[in-house]
Copies of this chain bind each other. A is one copy, B any other.
Amino acid sequence: MSLIPKSHPRAKSLMIREKLVAGFEKGLVAKEGLLAQGRGEAFDYLIGEKTGKSAKLAIKVAAAQILLADSPVISVNGNIAALCPKEIVKLAKQTGSKIEVNLFYENEERKKAIVKILKNNGASEVLGTNPTLRVILSGIDSARRFVDKNGIFLADVVVVPLEDGDRTLALRKAGKTVITFDLNPLSRTAQTSNITIVDNVTRSIDLLTENCKKLSNKNKKTLKKIVEDFDNKKNLSNMINEIKNNLTRRSRIA
């Protein structure tokens, strides 16, 4: 493969792209996952490639929600495993969350590669791999309907970075509270989740872990207030305004 020319103004974005491509070579990422990353790149470009005010608020609320959970689970797919395995494990350890592998495109080999990289990055247990514990979450057509009896099936709060819309709705219908990272504030996932962090997960996952640490000494009442005061729809609407302002700003520079 050719080197990325340093003079290329999208060099940084191309470097992250190469990371995904490397994850693809290692068998972590599906081909479709490369396309999904591309969509993310475009929306990240539109939000200005920075963690905005609305995202920061959502992160704080998400932290409070995770701390309030009895049985929080972080759902991991190939892209997230390729991009930030260490950070996912860190978040899980900070919050006592379980980690479960859950894929849109079912593939046992890929699942094994994902478990391996998570364990190499310090995960003690990764759910979603034991066929005897496999149960079906209704309302999903893709392989994502298969969940772990002791993981997502039992969870009250599910963190789903890089999600697809039909599962979010199914998780909500199953009574779960859903926290998601989604760069498109208009997507079904974004609109259906309880708490949507419109940001590049690679940029803000550590911020979520930090917020969890910072809020960990607060009492339940304080945490509940943070969650109750939050209006996800309104926050998403603010995010759409941020994008519109960015478009205006960029079109002036252009």
Contact = CB atoms under 8 A, between A and B. Distances in A.
Interface of A: 1-2, 5-10, 14, 17, 20-21, 24, 31-32, 34-43, 45-46, 104-106, 141-143, 164-166, 184-186, 188, 191, 233, 236-237, 240, 243-244, 247-248, 250-251, 254
A8 B166 CA distance: 7
Contacts of A185: 251
Contacts of A24: 31
A1 B107 CA distance: 8
Q: Which 7 A-B pairs have the closest CB atoms?
A: A38-B38, A5-B141, A42-B42, A35-B38, A34-B34, A39-B42, A38-B39
A163 B243 CA distance: 24
A184 B245 CA distance: 16
Query: What is the predominant secondary structure among interface residues of chain A facing chain B?
Result: helix
Given A38-B38, A38-B40, A39-B39, 9 more contacts: A8-B141, A8-B142, A8-B164, A10-B165, A21-B31, A31-B34, A38-B39, A186-B254, A240-B248
A36 B36 CA distance: 10
A10 B32 CA distance: 13
Identical copies of this chain, number? 2
A143 B43 CA distance: 27
13 contacts: A1-B105, A2-B105, A7-B141, A8-B141, A20-B35, A21-B31, A34-B34, A35-B35, A39-B41, A39-B42, A40-B42, A41-B42, A186-B254
Contacts of A5: 141-142, 166
B2 A106 contact: yes
A151 B186 CA distance: 43
A142 B41 contact: no
A146 to B, nearest CB: 12
A37 B38 CA distance: 7
Contacts of A236: 251, 254
With most chain B CB atoms within 10 A of its CB, the pick from A9, A38, A184 is A38
A27 to B, nearest CB: 13
Contacts of A244: 244, 247-248
A42 B247 contact: no
